Amino acid sequence: VVNLVWKLDLTLRDLAADSIMDSYTDERRTQARESILASVQLGRVICVTDPVAAAERDATVLANRRGKPPTRPEPAKPLTTGLLRADDPAAGAVVPQGRVGQHGRTGLFDDVVGRGFVLLTTDDPHTTLDEDRLAFLTELDTRVVRLLPPGSTEDGVVDVDDVYRSYLARFGATSLLVRPDYHVYGAANDPGGAKELVDDLRDRLGAG
């Protein structure tokens, strides 16, 4: 649903061409197929009608769980196609949720910074991007976030547990442009690349 909602919002506000709605099927088809197959496989385990087989299953499950902490849900699957920057190794990856600090407040990123498009950067965005590109990001209600290392007192958002700066380093990036559904649109490793990244998103949205 999140995948669809933000695209619909952009088209209704005339910030994107109607054609971006076509990307929903492209992006969700593979994930939906995997979810269906997983449900079928799980159903074969759960829906056992033979009492003896069911008892054996229960014993196996309990034995495997003994002494282990509860398992966490698996993270969302990365996207491999759709509204993503082409030929970008980071595109489609899922951004983790970490703790950040800003204006004396510490909490999860969404609670402190907000939701929507996010430009994560270790550079100063106001020197990296010109007014036109910043205005475009503002139109999209983008959170433009300068990430600072733990303990920093500079103006920006402190990456309390070094989750985001480490994540950028994983892709050799200084900037990541993240979609409202937490999938990376694309990455850049220098100021020039950050400009191209913003321009690429504007071209792909195709508004006007």
Provide the pLDDT confidence category of residue 110 given band limits of 50, 70 and 90.
very high
Q: Give the pLDDT of residue 72.
A: 63
| Whether pLDDT at 208 is above 60 | no
Residue 51: per-residue pLDDT: 87
Residue 150 belongs to domain spanning: 1-208
Question: Domain holding 195: CATH number?
Answer: 3.40.30.120
Residue 63 has pLDDT above 90, yes or no: no
- State the pLDDT at residue 198: 98
The neighbour count for residue 87, using CB atoms within 10 Å, is 7
DSSP labels for 42-82? Answer: HHHHH----HHHHHHHHHHHHHHHTT-PPPPPPPPPPP-SS
**How much is the pLDDT for 71?**
65
Average pLDDT (155-184) is 96
Q: Give 118 or 2, the one with higher predicted confidence.
A: 118
Write down the mean pLDDT value for the chain.
Answer: 91
Q: What does DSSP assign to residue 120?
A: E
Residue 50 CB neighbours (<10 A): 9
- Tell me if 200 sits within 8 A of 136, measured CB to CB: no
- Cβ neighbors of 141 (< 8 A, separation 6 or more) are 116, 117
Rounded to an integer, what is the distance from CA 113 to the centroid of its chain?
15
Euclidean distance between CA atoms 135 and 146, whole angstroms: 17
Of 46-50, 97-101, 156-160, 179-183, the range with the lowest mean pLDDT is 46-50
- Helix, strand or coil for residue 152? coil
For residue 5, pLDDT beyond 90: yes
Q: What are phi and psi of 65, to 5 degrees?
A: -85, -15
| CA atoms 191, 192, 194, 199: torsion sign | positive
Segment 118-139 mean pLDDT: 96
Under 8 Å between Cβ of 190 and 12: no
* Residue 15 pLDDT exceeds 70: yes
Confidence label for 139 from pLDDT (cuts 50, 70 and 90): very high
pLDDT at position 62? 85
The mean pLDDT value for 29-56 works out to 82
Segment 32-45, tens digit of pLDDT:
777 787 788 888 88
- Measuring CA to CA, which residue among 179, 172, 157, 154 is closest to residue 5? 179
Domain count, the chain: 1
